[in-house]
Amino acid sequence: MNWQIELLDLALKFTWKISRNASDMKTNLLVTVGDERTQGRGEAAPNIRYGETPELLQQQFNSLQKNGLANVETVEELQHLTQQEKTLPALRFALESALVHYLARKENKTVAQYLGVPAVASTPTAFTFPIMDPGKIADFAKEHQLQRFQYLKVKVNQESGLDMMGEVYKATSQPLMVDANEAWQDPDALIRFMEGLKKWPILMIEQPMPAGLDEEYLYLKKHSPYDLFADESVTDHADWDLLKQQFHGVNMKLMKAGGYLNGLSILQKTRSLGLKTMIGCMVETSMGIWSAIQLSHGVDFLDLDGMLVVKDEPFKYVKEQDGLLLPVTQP
């Protein structure tokens, strides 16, 4: 089996600012596996929040190559090798998805058939407002024609959160998700922020405080007027007994889960605890988004706009039409 990796430099359509950082460019990685006849491809979107950089993932790939990656023929063998090598989740996902795409092709199956999940022909996605000057919101909504999406997501921080939400509400008519990316430390300050949201159509609030603030989340869940969704608190594993007492739902991202199989497992565990489900993404091309769509049947919320942030998206594996995502062709 021949494995290759290459860097993908992606210019963004606008500054992608969240509570902890901002960027105008993103460097992802593309993994290809195959033989003379058949290939599969997968994407890694490294996230510095989890200690991932393009350079480190490249180094880890080189180390896997030295330690027997070429001999891997099954997903189980790949998982064994990446566990042994302590491979970071985004690279694990690129490797596993590339291999699954290759194996499905070899067996003349769709990826959905290979994974044993229902096929998805189209699915809605949220579109996200990054943090910006509240005065620019109305123009941003017009420029990107955001009326076509069923729901919208707003990145917020403590400084301008309520001002941004007010301007988004004036410029749009859809239900809103609020994503704070761990911006608050004090649950009482956060509850005051939530009180200020009550005049607007809020669907949920995503990871408003840092992962690891266990007591604070237990307290917050008792007092929150809105559903709380875990993002950074769930990576490729979670403390599920604690999590169900802290949150109402979980945002599973394949780049954090480290593979299709663990992503499915996280969604199944979330449902088994009676929690709501969501699939999110990093800034990714349509390759990564295509993969997320494969697992989206029956999921409560989808935030898969990562490819819509990329200028001149290179692959066109997914088409967006009227706020719906339609998978076109398999990576």
Residue 21, pLDDT score: 86
Q: Which helix (H) or strand (E) holds 284?
A: none
Residue 151: CATH number of its domain:
3.20.20.120
Residue ranges of E strands in the chain: 2-17, 22-34, 39-44, 123-124, 127-129, 152-155, 176-179, 202-206, 228-230, 249-252, 276-279, 301-302, 318-321, 324-327
pTM of the predicted protein model? 0.97
Binding region for Mg(2+): 179, 206, 231
Domain residues for 244? 123-327
Sequence-distant (≥ 6) Cβ neighbours of residue 116 within 8 angstroms: none
Please tell me the distance from the alpha carbon of residue 255 to that of residue 31, in angstroms, as a whole number. 14
Looking at the fold, whether 258 and 309 belong to one and the same domain comes out as yes
Q: Tokens representing 289? A: 């988004």
Tokens of 326: 């339609």
Domain shared by 185 and 273, yes or no: yes
**Edge-to-edge strands, sheet with 39-44:** 2-17, 22-34, 39-44
Point out the residues of the chain with pLDDT beneath 50. Answer: none
Residue at which a domain ends, from 115, 139, 162? 115
Tokens coding 111: 């990826």
Q: φ, ψ for residue 294 (rounded to 5)?
A: -60, -30
- The total domain count for the chain is 2
pLDDT of residue 163: 96
Single residue among 83, 115, 147 that ends a domain in this structure:
115
133 and 111 share one domain = no
Distance CA 292, CA 304 (A): 8
Determine the residue type at 34.
G
Residue with tokens 């594996």: 317
Instruction: Tell me the C-alpha to C-alpha distance, in Å, between residue 310 and each of 14, 27, 115, 290, 318.
Output: 9, 11, 28, 15, 13
**185 and 87 in one domain?**
no
The continuous run of DSSP H or E covering 217 comes out as: helix 214-223
146 shares a domain with 85: no
Asked whether the beta carbons of 158 and 189 are under 8 A apart, the reply is yes
**Tell me, what CATH number does 48's domain have?**
3.30.390.10
CA distances from 67 to 61, 99, 253, 300 (A): 10, 17, 28, 40
Q: Do 44 and 151 have their domain in common?
A: no
Same domain? 165 vs 309: yes
Per the CB < 8 A criterion, the answer to whether 21 and 80 are in contact is no
Binding site members: 179, 206, 231
Assigned token pair, 224: 């929150």
**Residue 207 and residue 234 in one domain:** yes
Question: According to the model, what pLDDT value does residue 105 have?
Answer: 98
Catalytic residues: 155, 253
For the chain, how many residues are written? 331
Predicted pLDDT at 286: 99
